[in-house]
Structure 1
Amino acid sequence: MSTSESFISHLLELRTRLLYAFGGLLLVFICLVPWAGELYALLAEPMLAKLPKGGQMIAIDVITPFFVPLKVAMMAAFLIALPYILYQAWLFVAPGMHTHEKRLMLPLVMASVVLFFFGMAFAYFVVFPVVFGFFSGAAPQGVAVMTDIDKYLSFVMGMFLAFGTTFEVPVAVVVLVKMDMVSIAKLKEIRPYVIVGAFILGALLTPPDVVSQFMLAIPLWLLYEVGIVVAGWMIKDSTEVETKNG
């Protein structure tokens, strides 16, 4: 097969995988549309639970009540379809990978998805009640706390992204060690700088309250330590296997 034919076959394969991935996402989205309102209500529950009795959210734009629940349905559809989308990506890249690369990449991809979901769950069940309770309690007397549903969705998605990415730290540490870009000893040596950086990121990525900043910075630091431990185990296992084979 010539180079041009090989390139075209790869493009055709990429198109096929993209179509399958988009089709799966679209199918899940269509199934979720009838429950878009319920999904938004579930997403808004941490905020609504902290509002004063009788408190509610508002929609300041005419089309917001229609489009915002659809955005939530799309976000939920993407999360549900994510394993299938990644499976299609795997089918595209796996034929060009060596066996040892497959053994490394597949667990890392699976761990990345699981950790991202854990990060979102941590934000929803732990961080949101604390943050929204703090903001509601900080309102001056006589001020009714009401938020626009679109702005609330943007805030929540930003927090999900921040905490989901934070929970990817162990995977990033393992990848850096396995690629020989950094050693375990160096990771331990720069620990103080990582801790300072965690608190700086906490201040940049979370609302301007100390509680939420700590709730991002502390898990970031602890997950960094978890990454060091896991990377150490993997290097030890690899060394033992090489010794036996040698």
Structure 2
Amino acid sequence: MSADKEMSIWEHLMELATRLRRVLVVSVIVFLLTLMPTPRHFSDPIQLLTGFFVTGNFTTLSYDIFYRYIIEPSIHMAYTNVVLISGDVFTPFNALLYVSLYFTVLAIVPYLVYEIWAYVRPALYPHEIRAVKKYLIYGVLLFYLGNLYGLGLISRYFLRFLIDISSVLPGVTPIFNIGSVVDTIIQIALWSGVFFEAPVVVAILSELCMLNPWALASYRPVIYAVSLIIIAIFTPDATLISVFLTFLPFAVLLEVGLAYSRKIVKKCPDYAYMRPAGRK
């Protein structure tokens, strides 16, 4: 264990509460920053204040970015026109908040990882510290890469498919609730970021000699089947398009992780027993 003095359970809980409070404070600050209005409102402060508190004529910069670079390109890719409606009374306001929360999550991920790492590090052995610390930055980068993949590819072609299929059905006009569109895109992006962590998890477990890559590879069909089920449960897509678009990079990254794991475990004491006969 760490050379630091042993703390009581209460002291551990107090430290955890302190770190979570820091994360909460940072999250609130970032969230308020994401609610900043678009620059065009700055020219008239009075209109800005009345728009926010009285008339509701207010758009956040984060939502404008989300709409301009994510929603709008998806709509323009379709072969037919689509109408976005507000739906329920609170839906537009909820969409603004949801987008701001999403950008807040993306912004605080590095700090959240730092606080979690600082909390668990004293309880780890030196070799565990080296193993985890080696891949922390890669885990954060893969989370962002997964979100970019979800936003730029899965969501875009998924929305295009839904819009086009709506226009093909006789008597159907493609009209979508903006809250549903925002919610679907963000869920796809976040879960893509989570599934992109597969090679990091495999690498860390391999560094700790807790994973046999050859044994894991032998269960590949089961792993892929379970992964498809999990992705289907958490991905809001009845057409299975986003399911397979999420599964494909997950499968590729898992295979990359397994290939890298076979090199990592060579230093493990049980390597001779892990490796099948005739395999390197």
* Normalised TM-score (structure 1): 0.82
**Secondary structure, counterpart of 2:83 in structure 1:** coil
Report the Cα distance in structure 1 between the residues aligned to 2:116 and 2:201, rounded to whole angstroms.
Answer: 20
Report the Cα distance in structure 2 between the residues aligned to 1:28 and 1:204, rounded to whole angstroms.
Answer: 30
Aligned position for 2:18: 16
Q: Which has the higher helix share?
A: 1
Which residue, 100, 106, 123 being the options, matches 2:127? 100
Aligned position for 1:38: 64
Report the Cα distance in structure 2 between the residues aligned to 1:78 and 1:98, rounded to whole angstroms.
Answer: 30
Aligned position for 1:233: 263
Q: 1:133-168 CA deviation, whole Å, 9 max, x = no partner? A: 222221224422121111112212321233222212
* Aligned CA distance change for structure 1 residues 144 and 107 (closer, same or farther; 3 Å): farther
Contact 1:33 1:73 survives alignment (8 Å): yes
Structure 1 spans left out of the alignment, 5+ residues: 240-246
Structure 2 matches for 1:201-240, cutoff 5 A? 201=230, 203-206=232-235, 207-209=237-239, 211-236=241-266
**Letter paired with 1:156:** I
Shift of residue 199, structure 1, vs aligned partner: 4.6
> 2:86 aligned with 1:59, yes or no?
yes
* Corresponding residue pairs, total: 237
Aligned position for 1:134: 161
Q: 1:37-75 CA deviation, whole Å, 9 max, x = no partner? A: 314414423443245665331111112212211121111
Q: CA RMSD in A?
A: 2.7
**Letter paired with 2:26:** G
Aligned position for 2:203: 174
Aligned position for 1:91: 118
> 2:179 aligned with 1:150, yes or no?
yes
Report the Cα distance in structure 2 between the residues aligned to 1:217 and 1:63, rounded to whole angstroms.
Answer: 34
Shift of residue 78, structure 1, vs aligned partner: 1.6
Deviates more, 1:107-116 or 1:69-78: 107-116
Deviates more, 1:88-97 or 1:46-55: 46-55
Report the Cα distance in structure 2 between the residues aligned to 1:81 and 1:178, rounded to whole angstroms.
Answer: 27
Contact 2:131 2:207 survives alignment (8 Å): no
